[in-house]
Amino acid sequence: MAEPVPQDPFPDDLEEAILELKRERNAILLAHYYQESEIQDLADVVGDSLALARAAQHADCDVIAFCGVHFMAETAAILNPERTVVVPDLEAGCSLADGCPADAFADFIAEHPGARVLTYINASAEVKAMSDLICTSSNAVKMVQQFEGEPLIFAPDRHLARWVANESGRDDLIVWQGACVVHEQFSAKRLAVLTVKHPDAEVLAHPECDQAVLDQADFIASTTGIIKRAVESPAQTLIIATEDGVFHQIHQKVPEKTLIQAPGMDESCACNQCPFMRLNTLEKLYLCLRDLEPRVTVPEGVRVGALRPIERMLELS
């Protein structure tokens, strides 16, 4: 007897099926700029970490399907205890969040008695719950300014910390030494060669990059800031040092401009694609809306602790 032919679990028109499930579930689809373009095109809101936290705060739906990484979906869950938050892939982590375990961070805080704690949103709910205030790359300088005259821990990104320290004139930040695997791999040496080849190009960079890269940047900002500048800049050629998911939005807004990826240290790899963000696919998005799994939940004690510094940031932004 012939073997049964396995059934393809996916409908032919996956995009339409996702939109249909979204309606059936009364779901909202939030996506970060580092998602593949097909996911961005289906989303109700595409944004940076701050915009997505705001969108989650104002969500009016039963289900939030979060296409980003775990800490972003967790932030949505913290803000929405009564809603179901699902993600395409539960394994979509972040080197910054994963590199700052809650128990080690508790010890770090204990080593600096009296210091206040400002935490980048790229951190777990447990770490957020130990913090006085949260920031994103688009409001970090303003959030540091809330602690004038007070000893201040900044975690978990050392590159963002150094940039914020320079911008705010705070040279005494107590810094957790984490880094982003994507932004740390841009090569300052190869970028310098590229800028010589393109003398009229403007260099745009995310503050998670190494100082030697930021030193060559004409403009430093969050993903939203980079996209906005790329559109508004008089330069026709832009060299961009961040995850290349942002190219999709820029191409749509200014298709005539030339976009060049800042070079990585390893020429042979697509290292400026976040390996965590790119775990999400249309197929997994379809499945998570169909099955309402995997879900992101936060224990209530941790949620309440993390909510306070997130809400404070949203109020101040």
Q: Is 222 in the site for ligand SF4 (CB under 6 A)?
A: no
Which of 124, 136, 185, 195 touches ligand 13P (CB under 6 A)? Answer: 136
Distance CA 68, CA 87 (A): 8
Which of 122, 131, 216, 280 touches ligand 13P (CB under 6 A)? Answer: 122
Nearest residue (CB) to ligand SF4, 39 versus 115: 39
Query: Residue-wise over 15-40: b if at least 16 C-beta within 10 A, else e?
Result: eebbeebbeebebbbbbbbbbbeebb
Least distance in angstroms from the C-beta of 155 to ligand SF4: 13
Identify the three-state secondary structure at position 128: helix
Residue 223 contact, options ligand SF4, ligand 13P, none, Cβ 5-8 Å cut-off depending on partner type: ligand 13P
Least distance in angstroms from the C-beta of 219 to ligand 13P: 13
- Beginning with the edge strand found earlier in the chain, give each strand of the sheet holding 152-155 in spatial order: 133-135, 116-120, 152-155, 174-175
Q: Is 185 in the site for ligand 13P (CB under 6 A)?
A: no
Distance CA 179, CA 119 (A): 14
Nearest residue (CB) to ligand SF4, 31 versus 96: 96
Distance CA 31, CA 69 (A): 10
Surface-to-core class of residue 256, CB atoms within 10 Å of its CB (0-12 exposed, 13-18 middle, 19+ buried): exposed
Nearest residue (CB) to ligand 13P, 25 versus 228: 228
Least distance in angstroms from the C-beta of 89 to ligand 13P: 16
Distance CA 32, CA 235 (A): 26
- Which string of x and - marks every residue 55-74 that binds ligand SF4 (by CB under 6 A)? --------------x-----
Q: Is 90 in the site for ligand SF4 (CB under 6 A)?
A: no
Nearest residue (CB) to ligand 13P, 175 versus 277: 277
